[in-house]
Homo-oligomer: A and B are copies of this chain.
Amino acid sequence: MIPATSILDSLSVKNKRLIARIISLIEAGDFSVMKIQRELFNKTGKAYKIGITGPPGAGKSTITNRLIKHLLSLSKTVAVIAVDPTSPFSGGALLGDRVRMNDIGISENIFIRSVATRGSLGGLSKKTIDIGDVFDAAGFDYLIFETVGVGQSELDIAKIADTTIVTLVPESGDSIQAMKAGLMEIADIFVLNKADRPGADRAMQSLKTTLELHKIPNGIWKPPVLQTIAVDNVGIVKLMDTITNHRNYCFANKICNNKRLEYFKERVLNIIETTLKKNITEKQSEIFNTAVKEGIENKISPYIIAERILMEYNG
């Protein structure tokens, strides 16, 4: 491995080989990349992060695809991190959606990467965030995080993204119902895609009614509901304009800055947590295993066992 400093000097949007290499090392959990990761953070913070989430089949990939084309036409550079649904056990990723992205063609200003969610059981993995840092440090103007599916990952997306877009389709209706409350909390912008399909009017009405019930005070960003037909490129310019409006609002009101601070805190805490857990299970494995074995055999509460381990660990 070349020294970290000289690597960082060569890190740029144009140097796709280097970006790909660093990402591969991060994905592989290669220890040698840690020094680079620690250094490159200093170059982050300039990329604007957009999250796109919603149920399967809502057209997230198509919308992402259209947004990319639009941003490229404005001479912007874009990196896409597509988080694929993965079995946490088998680790395989479904990459079908990516194929459709081929029609963007080869541009110097775009980098698309699929990542698996392995290791975090449905949420975004630590590696996904670390990969985002690489793109940010390389100088991409926009980072788009796209998650297929709903659940933990959409909540994580909302924490990372400066602007979170929730995509729905007229058919979503019933299955959306159950998660509506959660989606309301994370969406900065709602997109009703495939808006030419039957039921679109009713879905729009239902979304707007739910938003009304939320009673957002004046002066606070009220998530607009946009209609798109992404496959026909309808509504994409308006969507991008709305993202820009939200961006301006978000920084003017220090909301984005606070969000980034909160997320930084959470990352630090997660790293601390992982390190401590590793210390206890690996380095102190004998203490841990003995205590756990005794607990299960004698039906001692996990609370008591945890306390014992911590006492031995600190003592």
Contact = CB atoms under 8 A, between A and B. Distances in A.
Interface residues of chain A: helix, strand, loop or mixed (majority): helix
A271 B87 contact: no
A172 to B, nearest CB: 10
Copies of this protein in the complex: 2
Interface string A251-286: 000000000110011011101110111001100000
A85 B175 CA distance: 12
B85 A179 contact: yes
A304 B178 contact: no
A275 B306 contact: yes
Contacts of A149: 151, 178-179
A233 interface: no
Nearest to A183: B87
Contacts of A179: 85, 149
Given A85-B178, A122-B155, A155-B88, A268 B295 contact: yes
**For chain A, which range describes its interface: under 10, 10 to 19, 20 to 34, or 35 or more residues?**
35 or more
A87 B181 CA distance: 6
Contacts of A92: 181
Nearest to A265: B292
A56 B150 contact: no
A151 B122 contact: yes
Nearest to A181: B87
A86 B181 contact: yes
A51 interface: no
Interface string A149-184: 111100100000000000000000011011101101
Contact of A122 (B152, B261, B272, B281): B152
A28 B277 CA distance: 28
B155 A268 contact: no
A269 B281 contact: yes
A112 B161 CA distance: 39
A292 B292 CA distance: 34
A299 B184 contact: no
Contact of A276 (B276, B292, B300): B276
A25 interface: no
A209 interface: no
A146 to B, nearest CB: 13
A7 interface: no
Contacts of A288: 268
A261 B296 contact: yes
A57 B303 CA distance: 37
Interface of A: 34, 37-45, 55-57, 85-90, 92, 94, 121-123, 148-152, 155, 174-175, 177-179, 181-182, 184-185, 260-261, 264-265, 267-269, 271-273, 275-277, 280-281, 288, 291-292, 295-296, 298-306, 309-310
